[in-house]
C-alpha cells in the first residue's frame, strides 16, 4: 500500500522519480525501491516525503484515508477565528470577565497568536 501511495502522490504532483530522489538525497533506483516496496522507508524519510507531498504520515502508511492530519485540519478550521481574535486584541475590543484585558495580557496573547500563525505557515 505504501508504494502505491508514494507513486500516486508523486504523479499527482507531477514529479519524476528522479526529482523525488534528489529531494531525499538518494539515486532514482533507491527511490524506485520505495515505490516497489523492495526497500523500507526510515521514519525520517517518511516524514520528509509526507512534507514534500503535503500529507500526513498516517495517510502515507494507509492508517487513514484522509490526506491531512487532524492537527492540520484543526488549524485550517480555526485560522479565521484566530485572525478575528488577533484583530480584536489589537483594536482593544477584548474583555475578560467583563473587563478590558490588561495591556501585558494582550501582549502575551498576541505573541501566542503570532507563534500559532507562524507554525501554521511553516507546516
Return the C-alpha cell found at 114. 503570532
**For residue 1, is pLDDT > 70?**
yes
Backbone angles phi, psi at 13, to 5 degrees: -95, 0
Q: Using CA atoms, how far apart are residues 106 and 90, in angstroms rounded to an integer?
A: 8
Average pLDDT over residues 69-80: 61
Global pTM reads 0.56
DSSP code of 101? Answer: P
Least confident range of 93-97, 99-103, 108-112, 117-121: 117-121
Q: How confident is the model at residue 74 (pLDDT cuts 50, 70, 90)?
A: low
Backbone angles phi, psi at 95, to 5 degrees: -120, 155
What's the number of CA atoms in the CB half-sphere (13 Å) around residue 93?
Answer: 6
Average pLDDT over residues 61-87: 70
Amino acid at each position: 500500500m505504501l508504494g502505491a501511495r508514494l507513486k500516486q502522490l508523486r504523479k499527482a504532483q507531477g514529479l519524476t522519480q528522479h526529482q523525488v530522489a534528489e529531494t531525499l538525497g538518494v539515486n532514482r533506483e533507491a527511490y524506485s525501491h520505495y515505490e516497489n516496496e523492495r526497500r523500507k522507508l526510515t521514519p525520517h524519510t517518511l516524514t520528509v516525503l509526507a512534507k514534500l507531498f503535503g500529507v500526513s504520515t498516517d495517510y502515507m502508511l494507509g492508517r487513514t484515508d484522509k490526506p491531512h492530519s487532524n492537527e492540520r485540519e484543526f488549524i485550517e478550521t480555526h485560522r479565521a477565528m484566530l485572525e478575528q481574535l488577533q484583530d480584536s486584541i489589537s483594536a482593544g475590543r477584548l474583555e475578560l470577565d467583563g473587563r478590558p484585558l490588561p495591556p501585558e495580557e494582550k501582549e502575551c496573547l498576541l505573541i501566542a497568536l503570532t507563534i500559532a500563525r507562524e507554525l501554521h505557515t511553516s507546516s
